[in-house]
Structure 1
Amino acid sequence: MNTTNAMDELVAGYRRFHETGYAAEHERWASLKEGQSPRTMVISCSDSRVDPAQIFDVSPGELFVVRNVAALAPPYETSPGQHGVSAALEFAVQFLKVEQVVVMGHGMCGGCQAALTRDLHGNALGEGGFVANWVHMLDDARDPIAEEMGTTGRDAERAMELAAVKVSIANLRSFPYVKEKEAAGELAVRGAYFAITDGILYLLDEDSGEFRPAAD
């Protein structure tokens, strides 16, 4: 593996950004040195194909983003440990005072596929074990899907991907300050799903439980 070439590609991209993107947004970058005030937090997948800033076509400073395998938000916990997503959520909601938290799942998600098939179940850490432990939080949502649709095939995978968004939303609402702010009308928690194959963004209608195209 030629890692030097990979880094060279990044540096070349940075140069293009500095000459074009940074220059075009120079005033905005200058204002951002004073701090940030995004209105939206996005919890999305680490997948290289689903960059929230690109999908939502936003300028620097508009989104506070945390990305992880399968775009998961864990439930509220007070146990010792390193709670990265919870720390980001706390910072966004309590300190940045974002107006909404959007969980954005996506099509062809490897993390959701791992949750569905359980192919990594029992693997050692460093060999899939970390992934298996992380997507374990989808087990309750996974079981009825697997029973009805099996564990392979695009229909079952999509069902798992959509269910994962709903699991994360429920987990977000287990955080006391999220629940309080949402009840007070100070915060909205929303679900979204980006279909890679056709580029369509779907938004969750919580009244019906269905995901509908954002353009409708």
Structure 2
Amino acid sequence: MTENVSQELSTLLDGYRRFRHTGWTPHRERWSKLRKGQQPETMVIACSDSRVDPAQIFDVDPGEIFVVRNVAALVPPFETTPGLHGVSAALEFAVQVLKVKEIVVMGHGMCGGCKAALTQEMHGTRPGEGGFIADWIGLLDDARAPIAERLGTESREAEREMEHAGVRVSLQNLRTFPCIQQGERDGSLKLRGAFFAISDGVLHLMDEGTGEFSPCT
């Protein structure tokens, strides 16, 4: 190893060495099975925020969940316009190739992407200077309007409403994909909304009928 390794990389390498000792070596049989492929039954769509790692929150082993993470855990609606559709590609792979049985959209507290969607602080910026973020969280514009009108854009209550709304928007957009529509029709696929509160570490599940979130017991 070269001497000019950064402190940041050094921290990661220390973690890798711990993983080799406690996570890989004692479980070689499990890792050997994963060489043959993956068969996760659940897909989790979560935020890129470093505080909300789905594997840690759900305490799962490698191979158990298929994870997509992006700013604010958003899913764009189904579209066929030219472009690079990363989330859509992951959904196709999870549903049509891996045959997952459940998709969980997990929002979280203190989400910077949802806060930016609420305050529109990135609005009008150019790509490379915040414009990519602004375009992405623009997916929440329609959901933002009634929240901003009722609660304003500065309170923690408004931010929490925006975070919950983000989950509902992603679930709504998921249901525009033909493969997901088919899975729900034939009962092979279930969609679920969830929310992890960073402040107290409690997971909340969304009631499909009311759209409200309740603590998981």
Q: TM-score range by the shorter chain?
A: over 0.9
Identity %: 64
- The equivalent residue for 1:147 is 149
1:130 deviates by 0.6
Q: For the residues of structure 1 that align with 2:72 and 2:88, how far apart are their CA atoms?
A: 15
- The equivalent residue for 1:51 is 53
1:3 deviates by 7.2
Q: For the residues of structure 2 that align with 1:24 and 1:74, how far apart are their CA atoms?
A: 40
User: Where does structure 1 differ by over 4 angstroms across 4 or more consecutive aligned residues?
Assistant: none
1:101 aligns to what SS in structure 2?
strand
- The equivalent residue for 2:67 is 65
1:44 aligns to what SS in structure 2?
strand
Q: For the residues of structure 2 that align with 1:147 and 1:24, how far apart are their CA atoms?
A: 55
1:210 deviates by 0.9
User: What letter corresponds to residue 159 of structure 1 in structure 2?
Assistant: E
Q: Residues 30-109 of structure 1 correspond to what in structure 2 (within 5 A)?
A: 30-109=32-111
Q: For the residues of structure 2 that align with 1:163 and 1:61, how far apart are their CA atoms?
A: 30
1:149 deviates by 0.2
2:192 aligns to what SS in structure 1?
strand
Q: Extract unaligned runs of 5+ from structure 2.
A: none
1:63 deviates by 0.5
- The equivalent residue for 2:20 is 18
Q: Extract unaligned runs of 5+ from structure 1.
A: none
1:25 aligns to what SS in structure 2?
helix
Q: Residues 150-161 of structure 1 correspond to what in structure 2 (within 5 A)?
A: 150-161=152-163
2:45 aligns to what SS in structure 1?
strand
For 2:208, which of 196, 206, 209 is the aligned residue? 206
Q: How many residues are paired up?
A: 214
User: What letter corresponds to residue 35 of structure 1 in structure 2?
Assistant: G
- Which shows bigger deviation, 2-11 or 112-121? 2-11
User: What letter corresponds to residue 168 of structure 2 in structure 1?
Assistant: K
User: What letter corresponds to residue 106 of structure 1 in structure 2?
Assistant: H
Normalising by structure 2, report the TM-score.
Answer: 0.97
Q: For the residues of structure 2 that align with 1:143 and 1:161, how far apart are their CA atoms?
A: 14
- In structure 2, the CA distance between the partners of 1:203 and 1:3, relative to structure 1 (3 Å rule), is farther
1:127 deviates by 1.4
Q: For the residues of structure 1 that align with 2:62 and 2:102, how far apart are their CA atoms?
A: 17
- In structure 2, the CA distance between the partners of 1:3 and 1:119, relative to structure 1 (3 Å rule), is farther
1:26 deviates by 1.6
Q: Residues 153-172 of structure 1 correspond to what in structure 2 (within 5 A)?
A: 153-172=155-174
Q: For the residues of structure 2 that align with 1:119 and 1:44, how far apart are their CA atoms?
A: 22
The CA RMSD over aligned residues, in Å, is: 1.0
1:20 aligns to what SS in structure 2?
helix
2:127 aligns to what SS in structure 1?
coil
**Per-residue deviation, residues 101-158 of structure 1 (Å, max 9, x unmatched):** 1000000000000100000000111111110000001000000000000001110000
Q: For the residues of structure 1 that align with 2:197 and 2:88, how far apart are their CA atoms?
A: 26
Normalising by structure 1, report the TM-score.
Answer: 0.97
